Amino acid sequence: EKLFEYISGHFDGDLKGKTIALWGLSFKPNTDDMREASSRVLMELLWEQGATVQAYDPEAMEETQRIYGSRPDLKLTGTKEAALDSADFLVICTEWQSFRAPDFDLIKEKLSIPLIFDGRNLYDPKIMSEYGLHYYAIGRGLSIKGHKL
């Protein structure tokens, strides 16, 4: 899972105790289908490393609960903003319309590390820089820091 490799690499493999806000659980927008969802692989790898996931998806919350049940390292939230509460950084896995124009000031304020890993290339890196957010757009070739992705 490429997204996990970038996250793990950024933190030198030390994700123990980190809380990750995760937006998007379904494999694509407008469905609750998680059969081939990248979020599943990502969450399972994060849990193996001792991280906690706070997740929001407009449709797939019940499906996520059905698959994973109740576990201490997974918190399902009622809004995308609530997923940011006490989180260290944000990861975006699904390109839901409601994720396309978030309140970037609020994101920066809520995260302990102003960092977004975007698996769907939703945002303009220049705008992210203006908000003071470190932005890794997976597949775009460069992060805001100039590291090759």
Segment among 12-16, 67-71, 91-95, 136-140 with least mean pLDDT: 136-140
Residue 32 covered by a domain: no
Q: Over the chain, what is the mean pLDDT?
A: 92
Say how far apart CA 63 and CA 61 lie, in whole Å: 5
Residue, of 134 and 28, whose pLDDT is higher: 134
77 within a domain of the structure (yes/no): yes
Q: Is residue 51 part of a domain?
A: yes
Q: Which of the residue ranges 25-34, 47-56, 109-118, 136-145 would you say has the lowest mean pLDDT? A: 136-145
- Assigned domain for 142 exists: no
Q: Specify the pTM.
A: 0.92
Alpha helices of 96-139 — where are they, by DSSP H?
Answer: 104-110, 125-130
Identify whether the C-beta of residue 47 lies closer than 8 Å to the C-beta of residue 13: no
Asked if the model's pLDDT at residue 144 lies above 50, the reply is no
Could you tell me if residue 143 is inside a domain?
no
In a domain, 148, yes or no: no
Our count of domains for the chain comes to 1
- Domain region containing 48: 2-27+37-137
Residue 146 lies in a domain: no
For 41-81, what is each residue's pLDDT tens digit? Answer: 999 999 999 999 999 999 999 999 999 999 999 999 999 99
Structural domain contains residue 145: no
CA distance 32 to 28: 8
Rounding to the nearest 10 degrees, give the CA dihedral for residues 76, 134, 27, 74: -20
pLDDT reading at 147 higher than 80:
no
DSSP summary character for residue 11: T
CATH number at 133 reads 3.40.50.720
pLDDT in tens, 11-23: 999 999 999 999 9
